[in-house]
Each structure stands twice: as C-alpha cells, then as structure tokens.
Structure 1
C-alpha cells in the first residue's frame, strides 16, 4: 500500500497527475465536437502545425508555448479561410495545411538543430514542467473548460446545422473561431503532456469511444470527458512505476479503453452487431 501511494508524496508527480487529468478532460470535450462534425483530422493537422512555432520560439529564446499557440492559431485561421474562400474539400485543406506547416517546422529545426529539443516536441515532458508551466496549463485548462461549459449548446447547434444556428440568432463564424482558438490552446497544453505527434489521440480517442456508448450528445460529452480525465490521470500515475514516457502510456490506456468499448459496447459494439446479425438471420430463416 505504501508503494502504491508513493507517487502522491512527490510534488512533481502531483502536478503531472492533476495537470494531465485537466488537459485530458478539455481535449476530450473538444473531441466530441470533432467527432460530431467529422473533423478528427483537424486535430492531427493542428498538432503538427505547432512544430514550426515551437522551433521558432526555441531559436528566439521565447517560451515555446507562445510560438506553438501562434502557429496553431495561424493554421486554424488558414483552414477556416480556405474553407470559406475556396471550393477545396476539407480533407484537401487539412492535408495542405498539415504538410506545409510540418515541412516548415522540419526546415527550421534543420537550420539550428541544437536550439530545439526534439524529444520535448515529440514526446512531451509533463514530469519536468516548471511551476510557471503548471500555472500556464492550469489557466488554459480552466478557461477552456469554462467557455465550453457556457457555450456547449451553441456549439452543438452550429456543428449540427449552421443555417439553423443563424436563423436563431447565433453567430457560427464567431463560435467556430472560439472553438478553434480553444482547440489550438488545448493542443499546446496537450503537447507538453504527450508530445506533438500523440496529441491526435487525446483529441480523437475519447470522443470516438463515447460515440460508441451513447446516441445523446450531452451524455457523449460527459463520457468523453470522464474517459479523457481518468486515463490521463492514471497514465501519469502508472508512468512513475513503469519509468516510461507518460504520453505514450496515456495514449495506450485510451486506446485500450476504445478497443474494449469497440468490442463490448451494448448497442454499437462488435459483439452486439454480430448478435443482431445472428438474430436477423434466424428470423429470415424462419
């Protein structure tokens, strides 16, 4: 029992666990909307689009979160602009922005590789965050969560039907800008937890898992947030004993939860689908 409680005796582990849980919950909240709209790849695009911002911040000696947020916000604005001003499909726009920003980031890193911590960008380092970083992540998490709780119904209407949203007095463009701003900020926060390459899991997997468990969006939100927060907390806790990358452990846990739900979900799971198919076949044969 003493061994199991040991992580709670270290301040850096307490910071890592509660910050991971907060960031995981916010990312999961956003993932529900990405699943609703079919924009899962946008999370992937943003996670790679922050690489040039991080590289630039390291080169200039600035906090990398500033560069990452600027780069992520610029990528989100570019995607919205191209979506509204061109006839390109969303998948083409996402691919264009993703490859362009990521290529720019790799080019910047190649110019001055010693100035950029590749491991920090790729894997994150939640166990070594400073008090300043902790405060920054806490602010991002609480502000994002507060805005999402206040505007979740408006965002739901916008993501379901923009024309209906306009007819009832909502401003879809303004709400989408707010959503992508929060997504960019949360991506920056998640990068410190799991790294740039694994952020996509935190902004997709909880929503995808919850999608298999319920057909009601309000319930989907809370299931996703619960999964995101608990798996992130446990992942940070378990990393103390395994001495492994915290981000990788969190992602593996979320994937295991998804696979379990995919197999055993009472309505949309694989086993349930096979049972329905077997029942339908027997009815036809009779």
Structure 2
C-alpha cells in the first residue's frame, strides 16, 4: 500500500509533471464537455477536420516566427467559419463540405511545410504532443481558455441542445441556427487547440470524441452525459499520464488508449446500451414468465 501511495505522489515532486497533469486533466474536462455536442450531432468528422485545419496555421506561424498555438487557433477558426457558412447551403451535406475544407487545409499545410526547412522537429512535437515540455505560461493559457470555453458552453447550453436535437424545430422557434453552428465550431476549435500539447494533432480527436461516446453508452440523460464525459476525459488523461511516467512511454498515446479501454468496457458492460445489458433484456423479453398462470386454468 505504501509503494502505491509513493507512486501516486512521486510525479507531484517534479514541476514538469505537475504542469503536465494539470494540462492533461483540464484538456480532458474541456474536450469532454464540448465532445457531448459533437457526438450528439454526429459531427466527429468536424473534429477531425478542425484538428487538421490547425496544421497550416502552425506551419505559417513557424515560418513567421510567431506563437504556434496562436497560428493554429486562427487557422482552425477560419476553417470552421468557412465550413459553417458553406454548410448552410442545404444542397451539400455537412460532411461533404467538411471533407473539402479538411483536404484543402491539410494541402496548404504541406505546401507551407515544404518551404520551411528545419520544421520537422517542431512538427513532431505538434503531431504527437509535448506534454512534458509544457511551460507555466502554457498552463495558464489552457486554464484561462478552458474556463472561458466552459462559461460559453454553459451560457449557450439550452440553445445548443435545441439545435443539436432538432435543427428545423429550433429554426422555426426563432433560434439563430447559423450563429449557434458558428459558436459550436469555434468551441470545437478552441478545445482542440488547447489539447494539442497533451496528445498531439493526430490523437486529439480521440480526446474529443471517446469520452463523450462512453457517456452516451452509459446514460440517456443529457445532463448526466455532460457530467460523465468530462469526468471520463479527465480520468483517462490522469491515468494515461501516470502510466507514461511509470512505463516511460508516450503520454499522448497512453491517454488515448486508456480512454479507448473505457469505451470498450462501456460498449460491453454498459447496463442499458452495452452488449451484456442488451442481451439480458432480450433474454428476459423472450423467456416466458415462470410464475404466470395460463388463461382458463384458474379455479
């Protein structure tokens, strides 16, 4: 027991681990909250598109010697805005528009990258995360941006839910559907950008989608889902980082693998929507009631 307590306490003796733990947990919470709306709207593709859309922004920021996170945020927001505007044309499905801008953004990033020799080292940390290299300034940036994002989510919660569940009814009720779409895309972008240092550009989609998918399998209540998703995201980030510290393996990958493990457990053992729960209900529905008395035999 003492050795377990020592292992749990040891990372907190190192400043770099404290910063990493704080950022990973905050990223898990923020992505979990925003991910609820992404999962309910079936918008996993937009998360992937925005995650890759920050790529040219980071490349341009590197060439211009400005902050990489700022460059990624500007590029991600610009792409999200373009997607939201073009997607209002109902002639095209939203996933088609996302696919077009996803490919265009990544193509631009490759072109910019080819003009910037020496970028490969920074690119690796961007793609796979650099959570152990996080500075105190990064911690404060994630904390402030995350707090503002959570406040915005709380303020827009009811109209976002209305648009998520039934866009046409929300439009008929007078809600500004396009503005709410833009707000959601911007929220997804901010959540992704502040999580890049924790898990990297390649894996950030998992932090956005997987905890919310777990919560979707565990409950039918939206408010419970909104609490479960950030808890699962934060817990997966914390456990993954501890495993990374103990096993000396990549933190971002382990965070995602822990979250995926939780998803598998929910998919199999979920009391209502898991494979086991559904099989039990099916068996109960098909088996005759052993204490039922056949009609006409009483008396």
Instruction: Check 1:188–1:268 CA distance in 2 against 1; reply closer, same or farther (3 A cut).
Output: same
Query: Given the alignment of the two structures, is residue 255 of structure 1 paired with residue 268 of structure 2, yes or no?
Result: no
CA distance in 2, matches of 1:89, 1:177: 16
Q: Deviations over 1:4-23 (max 9, x none)?
A: 31101111111111111111
Structure 1 spans left out of the alignment, 5+ residues? none
Mapping for residues 206-221 of structure 1, pairs under 5 Å? 206-221=211-226
Decide which structure has the larger Cα Rg and report it: 2
Q: TM-score, normalised by structure 1?
A: 0.94
Candidates 82, 88, 95, aligned match of 1:84: 88
CA distance in 2, matches of 1:177, 1:3: 44
Candidates 49, 52, 55, aligned match of 1:51: 55
Q: Which residue of 1 aligns with 2:292?
A: none
Is contact 1:125–1:195 with CA below 8 Å preserved after alignment? yes
Is contact 2:19–2:135 with CA below 8 Å preserved after alignment? no
Is contact 1:205–1:254 with CA below 8 Å preserved after alignment? yes
CA distance in 2, matches of 1:31, 1:186: 9
CA distance in 2, matches of 1:175, 1:3: 45
Candidates 138, 159, 171, aligned match of 1:154: 159
CA distance in 2, matches of 1:234, 1:217: 26
Query: Given the alignment of the two structures, is residue 66 of structure 1 paired with residue 55 of structure 2, yes or no?
Result: no
Mapping for residues 122-141 of structure 1, pairs under 5 Å? 122-141=127-146
Q: Which residue of 2 aligns with 1:265?
A: 270
CA distance in 1, matches of 2:141, 2:235: 21
Is contact 2:69–2:193 with CA below 8 Å preserved after alignment? yes
CA distance in 2, matches of 1:122, 1:188: 12
Is contact 2:33–2:229 with CA below 8 Å preserved after alignment? yes
Is contact 1:13–1:237 with CA below 8 Å preserved after alignment? no
Is contact 2:22–2:139 with CA below 8 Å preserved after alignment? no
Q: Which residue of 2 aligns with 1:17?
A: 21
CA distance in 2, matches of 1:180, 1:3: 40
Mapping for residues 86-105 of structure 1, pairs under 5 Å? 87-105=91-109
CA distance in 2, matches of 1:58, 1:36: 36
Shift of 1:281: 4.2
CA distance in 2, matches of 1:150, 1:20: 24
- What is the CA RMSD across the aligned residues, in angstroms? 1.9
Count of aligned residue pairs for this structure pair: 285
Report the more deviating stretch, 118-127 or 229-238: 229-238
CA distance in 2, matches of 1:42, 1:163: 20
CA distance in 2, matches of 1:52, 1:16: 26
Shift of 1:168: 4.5
2:175 aligned counterpart, secondary structure:
coil
Q: Which residue of 2 aligns with 1:106?
A: 110
Q: TM-score, normalised by structure 2?
A: 0.90
